[in-house]
Chains A and B, each alone.
Chain A
Amino acid sequence: MSTQVTPVVSPDRHRDERPPSGRGFGSLGGRRSLTGWIFLLPAALLILVMNFWPMFQAFILSLQTGRGAQLSFAEPLWFNYERLLADQTFWMTLRTTLLYLVIQVPIMLAVALVLANILNNPRLRFKGMWRTAIFLPCAVSLVSYALVFRTMFATDGLVNDVLTGINLIDAPINWLGQTHTAQFVIIIGLLWRWTGYNMVFYLAGLQNIDHSTVEAAKVDGANAAKTFWYVTLPQLKPMILLTAIMSTNGTIQLFDESYNLTAGGPAYTSMSVSHYLYEVSFVQNPNFGYAAAISYVILVIVALLAAIQLKVGDKRD
């Protein structure tokens, strides 16, 4: 979940501010639009050269096989993709990643929404402190928090000490040594690290909601839950959509936690797809063609999920 996106607050607010006249570049509006395009050009060109061109090259790479740097086009061309179908480890890591997605993202977004609502309450005291405390995990580097979690969940770590201390368990749990507990620790880590990040988006969204709509609902006799469900939530929809897409995207590309917290273990069962991709490239006998094919599968999954979410969530048109 390493994608950092600057929040763009309700872009459709400025919808009506189009250049007033003319589409040709000769007119005043046209010239303004030309200036706009020129300002867009630097970023657009950089994205083209540094994002899209490597993506294209990666696609070409995914059609190649060979030893080391001596790559040639595979026979048949889709050999690496065909290979994916038979790769048990790939399917296992993909299933694990989807498990993280299905469990972690909904919980995280729901908790973030609740926290944002509590923090948005005008009568809440020490608001700044709460907000900082909840957002602070996002300021921590992914690697260092993963290492701290690893220490905390060690067999002789803090968590076991506390649990045995309050007599919840008799013997220490081998958290990172068993499949399900290792996956659980990764999910807990993700929740801790990213809930505050998503909450900030909701907080920004909530502050853009016209307070009079909430008051009107109250006047009409709606209780707090109903106000939230029928008035606040619909107005937050664009923000929920944004966070859902970003979280999905980030979880599918999960790497740091898998690499640092559990090292993929035990027996690959907590490894994410991106971590497997890294193993294939840099730890095992290097197979960059195959790694590129895996990365394209990740891309397709992310794109598909984002498309579905847009279809379901965005009803503007």
Chain B
Amino acid sequence: MRKKMTLASVAGVATITLALAACGGGDGSTGGDGGGGGEGDGSLTVWAWDPAFNVYAMNEAATIYQQDNPDVTVEVIETPWEDIQTKLTTLAQTGELEELPDIFLMQNNAFQKNLINYPELFTDITDSGIDFAEFPESVVAFSTTEGANYGVPFDNGAAVTALRTDVLAEAGYTIEDFTDITWDEFIANGEDILAQTGKPLLSGVAGESDLITMILQSTGGSLFDADGNPTISDNDALLQAIDVYTRLVESGLFVEVNSWDEYIGTFVNSNVAGTINGIWILGSIQTAEDQTGLWNITNLPSLEGVGEATNYSANGGSSWVVSSNADAELAEDFLGATFAGSTEFYDTILPSSGAIANWIPASESEVYAEPHPFFADQPVFQLAVEFGAQVPSVNTGAYYYEGRDAVSAAITNILNGADPADALAEAQATVEFAMQ
């Protein structure tokens, strides 16, 4: 019996310990899995997601900064974007802001949503000495609210049309025939090429509205107006963009697939002869080494007769955020001296990662003007920066993802035979409902 009682008391003590352990964890420990900004000890913690791209760029920036500031260390923790978003939301929602790193990377499309919902995650860097006029206005707009800046733009999301010159040549076309054209001309040329060579020009993931939002932005339009109200129904530019998309799909010029990997596969395996996307897609295009010298890039077709009707747009891109838990002075100085102030830095990262600067002074460097062998000696990086500077700026708003998803659903329904105006009215209602 004595033995039993001892066991019983052990069990009791164990319970209390476990329960306490469960309640603990908020005792300011910085943990090994991220967080740990703001110690003021000359170290910076960073969250970014792509080891070949933004993680690499951040590490290079650290090396350059350390030349003048040898005591500063930068630790980059590789975290997928979805996880960064989940962590940010969870930390903000629970108020555990001391778990934030000093700096984190954020998708431009998600910037307004996070800024409006969780301003407590950000540090206002308007007066940090960083000159935001040296970035394209359309890109700075993502990370600005009420005149205050909260992000340092990183990679360029300027949209390009990338085409296989060998397929074009087979049908008697050149890249010039696709430069500064309208969508009507694009479709006419594309149908001719399809008839002659059997190759469609474009592909994309079914039910995603990337191409349509790119077309929309090229006209200066968005799914939201300047006040963040949805403008999905009775939006002439959107209706016409969807009309272009429908024509592309129905004429067989645009191949719909179901996942990102399949999309990459369509052009890497030469099933389609081109693609339209953010300039970062060049990284994926170059994985097909056997196609070296067979690609060219140019600007987008314009949507004639609507709004500004430019040949420039953007998709994606990301910006660095100084968190509210940061050693703000150090973090601002670091970003200001590298991502917003060092041509040497951009010259280093460009050839190896293809990370094209949004910082306009970087494009004046000779490295940007160098011909790129994969793209038949076109200076693609310089073109990207030139395109990027001409992109109309639009408001994404806090409900960008709702808008995007609702329009994606509408497109699926329209391609299945629904009336475009009705489908868009329904999408508008869905977004308005989400905003209640």
Interface residues of A (CB under 8 A from B): 31, 34-35, 38-39, 41-42, 45-46, 49-50, 67-69, 83, 86-89, 150, 154-156, 174, 176-177, 265-268, 279, 281-288
Residues A266 and B206 in contact, CB atoms below 8 Å apart: yes
User: Lowest 7 A-B CB distances belong to which pairs?
Assistant: A68-B117, A267-B409, A267-B412, A42-B15, A38-B8, A176-B258, A68-B118
In the complex the two chains form, what is the Cα distance from A78 to B418 in whole Å?
Answer: 35
User: Nearest Cβ in chain B — how far from A91, in angstroms?
Assistant: 12
**Which residues from A are CB-within-8-Å of B436?**
83
**Docked pose: A102 CA to B243 CA in angstroms:** 39
Q: Does B226 lie at the interface of the complex (its beta carbon under 8 Å from any beta carbon of A)? A: no
User: What is the chain B residue whose CB lies nearest that of A281?
Assistant: B89
Let me know if A267 and B256 touch, CB within 8 A. no
Q: Is B86 positioned at the interface, with any CB of A under 8 Å from its CB?
A: yes
- CB atoms of B259 and A154 under 8 A apart: yes
Contact B207 A265 (CB under 8 A): yes
Q: What are 21 of the A-B contact pairs (CB < 8 Å)?
A: A38-B8, A41-B15, A42-B14, A49-B19, A68-B118, A88-B430, A89-B430, A150-B258, A156-B265, A174-B256, A176-B258, A177-B206, A266-B207, A267-B410, A268-B409, A283-B401, A284-B401, A285-B398, A285-B399, A285-B401, A286-B89
Residues in B with CB closer than 8 Å to A69 are 92-93, 95, 117-118, 120
Q: How far is the CA of A122 from the CA of B137 in the complex (A)?
A: 77
- Mask, B91-134, CB within 8 Å of A = 1, is 01101000000000000000001001111100000000000000
Is the beta-carbon distance between A49 and B22 smaller than 8 angstroms?
Answer: yes
Look across to chain B and name the residue whose beta carbon is closest to the beta carbon of A176: B258
List the B residue with the shortest CB-CB distance to A182: B258
Given known A-B contacts A156-B262, A266-B412, A288 and B206 have beta carbons under 8 A apart: no
Task: Flag if A35 contacts B256 (CB, 8 Å).
Answer: no
Residues of chain A within 8 A (CB-CB) of B63 are none
Distance in angstroms between the alpha carbons of A31 and B3 in the assembled complex: 13
Select from chain A the residue with minimum beta-carbon distance to B409: A267
Check: B257 CB closer than 8 A to any chain A CB.
Answer: yes
Identify 6 new A-B residue pairs, CB closer than 8 A, beyond the known A35-B7, A45-B19. Answer: A35-B8, A38-B9, A42-B14, A69-B93, A150-B259, A177-B258
**Pair A282/B19 contact, Cβ less than 8 Å:** no
The answer on a CB contact under 8 Å between A50 and B22 is yes
Instruction: Establish whether residues B413 and A42, one from each chain, have CB atoms under 8 Å apart when the complex forms.
Output: no
Task: Using known A-B contacts A67-B116, A177-B256, determine if residue A284 contacts B434 with beta carbons closer than 8 Å.
Answer: yes
B307 smallest CB distance to A (angstroms): 26
- A-contacting residues, B1-41, CB 8 Å: 1, 4-5, 7-9, 11-12, 14-15, 18-19, 22-23
Mostly, the B contact residues are helix
In angstroms, Cα B401 to Cα A279, docked, is: 10
Bound-complex Cα distance A69 to B94 (A): 8
A-B contact count (CB 8 A): 114
B412: nearest chain-A partner, CB-CB? A267
Interface, chain B (partner A; CB < 8 A): 1, 4-5, 7-9, 11-12, 14-15, 18-19, 22-23, 82, 85-86, 89, 92-93, 95, 113, 116-120, 206-207, 256-259, 262, 265, 398-399, 401-402, 405, 408-410, 412-413, 430, 433-436
Contact B1–A267 (Cβ < 8 Å): no
Report the minimum CB–CB distance from B245 to chain A (whole Å): 15
Task: Give the contacting residue for B19; candidates A46, A154, A266, A267; CB below 8 A.
Answer: A46
A86 to B434, CA, bound (A): 11
**Which of B8, B89, B398, B434 is the one whose CB lies under 8 Å from A282?**
B89
Would you call A41 and B433 a contact (CB within 8 A)? no
Complex CA distance for A177 and B249, rounded to whole angstroms:
14
In the assembled complex, the Cα of A38 lies from the Cα of B6 at a distance in Å of: 11
Contacts of A282 in B (CB 8 A): 82, 85-86, 89
Given A268-B409, A284-B399, A46-B18 contact (CB < 8 Å): yes
A residues less than 8 Å from B85 (CB atoms) = 282-283
CA distance A176 to B434 in the complex (A): 27
Q: Which residues of B contact A88 (CB under 8 A)?
A: 430, 433
Nearest CB of chain A from residue B61's CB, rounded to whole Å: 29
Nearest CB on A from B402, distance (A): 5
Inside 8 A of A281's CB, which chain B residues have their CB? 89
Nearest-Cβ distance from residue B119 to partner chain A, whole angstroms: 8
* A35 CA to B5 CA, complexed, in Å: 7
